[in-house]
C-alpha cells in the first residue's frame, strides 16, 4: 500500500515539476523533507538576509529553526512576541530581503502558483523585490486547475488559517469560506503566477509529504 502511495506522489510530483520548468521556474521534487532542506540551504547565499512568509510548512519541516541555527538574519512577522507595529515593520523588511521563502496555497497540474492573502506582503515578495524566491510546498497543495485551487483555498486553507490566528470571521464557525465582509477577512488578494517573473530567481520545491495548510 505504501509503495502505491509513494508511486502516486512521485508520478504527480514529477509531472508538476516538468510543467513548472516549462513555465521557467527552477523546480524540483523530493520525496522527503531532509533532501528538500539540503537543496534549499544550498541555494541561499552565505550572509543573505531572509524574509519568511506566513507559512506553517516552513516551520513544519524545520527550516526556520535551521536558518536561525546557521546564524542567518531573518525577517519574520510571525516571530512570537512582536507588537502589531513591529509585525508591520517586519513585513516591509521581508520585501527587501536578499531571499524570500514561503509556501503557496496551491499549485496546478499545469505549473501555476495560486495564492490568497490578507495584506498582500507575501504575494508581493513572491513576485518582485527579493532577488531570490524559494517556494516550498507539500504534495497536498497540488490541484487540477485554477477552479480547484479556488475551492481548496475556500474549503481548507482559508478557514484553517483563520482558526490559526483566531480571527472572528464566519468561516471560524462553518469551516468554509463565506466570502465575508469582515474587517478581519484574510481573503483580500488573489494572485496567479502563470510564469516565473523575469527579474526573480524563483525556485519551487515540491515535497512528497502532506505539509502545511
> What residue segments make up the domains of the chain, in order of their start?
2-143+187-207
pLDDT, position 171: 93
Q: Which of 17, 35, 16 is nearest to 26 (CA)?
A: 17
Q: What percent of the chain has a predicted confidence (pLDDT) above 90?
A: 94
Fold of 2-143+187-207: Rossmann fold (3.40.50)
Residue 185's pLDDT is: 93
Work out the number of other CB atoms within 10 angstroms of the CB of residue 71.
8
Instruction: State whether the Cα torsion 140-142-143-144 is positive or negative.
Output: negative
Whole-number pLDDT of residue 84: 94
Phi and psi angles of residue 201, each rounded to the nearest 5 degrees, phi first: -80, 100
> Considering the entire predicted model, what is its pTM?
0.96
Residue 172 scores a pLDDT above 90 = no
CA distance 128 to 200: 7
Decide: helix, strand or coil at residue 30. strand
C-alpha cell of 55? 507559512
Q: What angle do CA 24, 25, 29 make, to 5 degrees?
A: 135
E strand or H helix that includes residue 27: strand 26-30
Amino acid at each position: 500500500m505504501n509503495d502505491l502511495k509513494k508511486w502516486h506522489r512521485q508520478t504527480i510530483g514529477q509531472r508538476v515539476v516538468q510543467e513548472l520548468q516549462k513555465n521557467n521556474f527552477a523546480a524540483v521534487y523530493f520525496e522527503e523533507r531532509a533532501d528538500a532542506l539540503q537543496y534549499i540551504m544550498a541555494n541561499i547565499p552565505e550572509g543573505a538576509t531572509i524574509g519568511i512568509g506566513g507559512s506553517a510548512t516552513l516551520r513544519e519541516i524545520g527550516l526556520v529553526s535551521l536558518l536561525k541555527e546557521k546564524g542567518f538574519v531573518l525577517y519574520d512577522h510571525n516571530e512570537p512576541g512582536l507588537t502589531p507595529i513591529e509585525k508591520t515593520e517586519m513585513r516591509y523588511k521581508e520585501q527587501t530581503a536578499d531571499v524570500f521563502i514561503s509556501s503557496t496555497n496551491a499549485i496546478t497540474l499545469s505549473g501555476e502558483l495560486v495564492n490568497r492573502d490578507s495584506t498582500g506582503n507575501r504575494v508581493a515578495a513572491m513576485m518582485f523585490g527579493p532577488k531570490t524566491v524559494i517556494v516550498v510546498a507539500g504534495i497536498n497543495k497540488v490541484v487540477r486547475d485554477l477552479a480547484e485551487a479556488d475551492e481548496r483555498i475556500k474549503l481548507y486553507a482559508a478557514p484553517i488559517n483563520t482558526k490559526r490566528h483566531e480571527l472572528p470571521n464566519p468561516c471560524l464557525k462553518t469551516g468554509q469560506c463565506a466570502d465575508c465582509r469582515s474587517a478581519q477577512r484574510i481573503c483580500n488578494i488573489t494572485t496567479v503566477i502563470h510564469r516565473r517573473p523575469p527579474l526573480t530567481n524563483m525556485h519551487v520545491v515540491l515535497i512528497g509529504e502532506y505539509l502545511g495548510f
